[in-house]
Amino acid sequence: MRTPNGVHALVRRTHEERVLRALQENGALSRAEIGRVVGLSRTTLSEITADLLQRGAIVVVDTDASRREGSGRPAERLALDPASAQFMGVDFGHRRVHVAVAAASHEVMVSGSVRYDDTAPWRERITLALDLVERLTTEAGVHYGALQGIGIGVPGPYPVPEGTARPRTNAAGTVLRPAPEGVDVAFAERFDAPVIVDNNTRLAALAEAISGADSIDDLVYIRLSDGVGGGLVVGGQLVTGSAGLAGELGHVTVDPSGRPCRCGKRGCLETVASVPAILAACWEFGLPLDGLRDLADAAARAHPVANRVLREAAGALGRVIGAATMTLNPSKVVIGGEIAHLVPVIVEQVAATLAAELFPTAAASPLVEAARLSDDDGAIGALAAVFHSSPLLARYPETADVRGDCGTRSSLSEGAAHVRP
Ligand SMILES: [Zn+2]
């Protein structure tokens, strides 16, 4: 009976989502009214509402006595519990963890972050994250009795490939600690909910694919920051590959005799197009810059050194993306990282390089854009992964609000997804 049980669970979850959706769209309804909206039998509906009530996802608000015509027992009216969290997204960065909690409507109810030292061991990071969740609960009055799933983003490949499970230091001096296998267990035990863990750059790719008005089935995502990471969405699914390394476009070789890369190879895209690599190249050609803002200023002034370095970096990036585009034929290429917004010439040059690299037909040319979500929105990517595992993923609410004093404004819904910190 293994398979029928699995199918039964999926069917039940789909039914639950339909009931929650009906209440979200219509406000309080009686069971009979819900039954008419979602088209479920009385028995099935009664089971589902009993379970949702018991878990605290919905509450009885009143009865229909005042509106009722004729005789008969007044019917209870049910509504979503506005304090009931349904989904949790957690993004562990190298120096901070960000948590976002969403309601049944997929609105972000509350979010917050806490910083840690980049040498902090995972046990400490997990404790800090769980404490943060507790604090958000107390401050915003959110409860987790009906939590449907938790998405967790971690830096670096996940699952951690064999032989790389020890901390190492990258070129910028950051200690990189692969996520322990226990991160999922810690959250699953605390909240008694299913947990998805994945690389946070890959989750950002998924968030980009589904955050617009129309979700994108085929997308290539690449993020430029201290390193260069990537994620691929193919046929609506996030591609992880056989060992969790799919989409690592930052380690495609662009110059076989180039600089050593932290991965052990030489001349990877990351050694040319990461933010530290671009800044180092500017220094080398006589333009000492003090960080990303300085680079953005130099690019805006069309400083010849900045211009040349940026065009070369974005050209290399465009050729690597060109190969990925030839392989996957995505409809969209998204470039993430703060630099993509601060230095628009990068996106322009990638688009120009792609136009030269690909078949000269419109069908071959993806739209090239800077990411909608910021790097601080990693928890939204983790939430996206949980929503994505939900049967009714395709239907998002049109508008969304955020409540809670400790939160940043962010949501996966169209419009709000464009809000930047
Ligand atoms: Zn490399």
The tens digit of pLDDT for each residue in 156-184 reads: 766 655 555 555 555 545 455 555 667 88
The topology under which CATH files domain 215-371 is Nucleotidyltransferase; domain 5 (3.30.420)
Ligand 1: distance of its center to the CA of 391 in Å? 37
pLDDT in tens, 26-36: 989 999 999 99
The residues spanned by each domain of the chain are: 2-65+72-80, 83-212+373-421, 215-371
Ligand 1: distance of its center to the CA of 339 in Å? 20
Mean pLDDT for the chain overall: 82
Ligand 1: distance of its center to the CA of 262 in Å? 6
Ligand 1: distance of its center to the CA of 273 in Å? 11
Cβ–Cβ < 8 Å for 107, 87? no
Ligand 1: distance of its center to the CA of 363 in Å? 31
Q: Which residues surround ligand 1, an ion (CB under 5 A)?
A: 251, 261, 263, 265, 268
Ligand 1: distance of its center to the CA of 228 in Å? 9
Q: What's residue 56's pLDDT?
A: 82
Alpha helices (H) in 198-274, listed in sequence order:
200-210, 270-273
Which is higher by pLDDT, 386 or 304?
Answer: 304
Q: What's residue 166's pLDDT?
A: 55
Ligand 1: distance of its center to the CA of 171 in Å? 11
CA–centroid distance for 357 within its chain: 30
Query: Is the pTM for the entire model greater than 0.85?
Result: no
Q: Tokens for 374, please give them.
A: 């910021």
Ligand 1: distance of its center to the CA of 320 in Å? 13
Q: What top-level class would CATH report for the domain 2-65+72-80?
A: mainly alpha
The topology under which CATH files domain 83-212+373-421 is Nucleotidyltransferase; domain 5 (3.30.420)
- Cis, bond preceding 159 (omega within 30 deg of 0): yes
DSSP E strands, 235-385: 237-238, 332-336, 367-370
pLDDT in tens, 278-296: 999 999 999 999 999 999 9
* Residue 213 vs residues 34, 209, 333, 397: alpha-carbon distances, Å: 27, 10, 16, 10
Ligand 1: distance of its center to the CA of 224 in Å? 14
In whole angstroms, give the CA distance from residue 221 to residue 231: 5
Ligand 1: distance of its center to the CA of 336 in Å? 19
Contacts of 332 (CB under 8 A, 6+ apart): 216, 218, 219, 220, 366, 367, 368, 369
Shared fold status for 83-212+373-421 and 215-371: yes
Query: Is pLDDT at 37 greater than 70 in this prediction?
Result: yes
3-state DSSP assignment of residue 309: helix
Averaged pLDDT, 293-318: 96
pLDDT in tens, 72-119: 778 899 998 888 898 999 999 878 899 999 987 778 899 999 999 878
Query: Is pLDDT at 203 greater than 80 in this prediction?
Result: yes
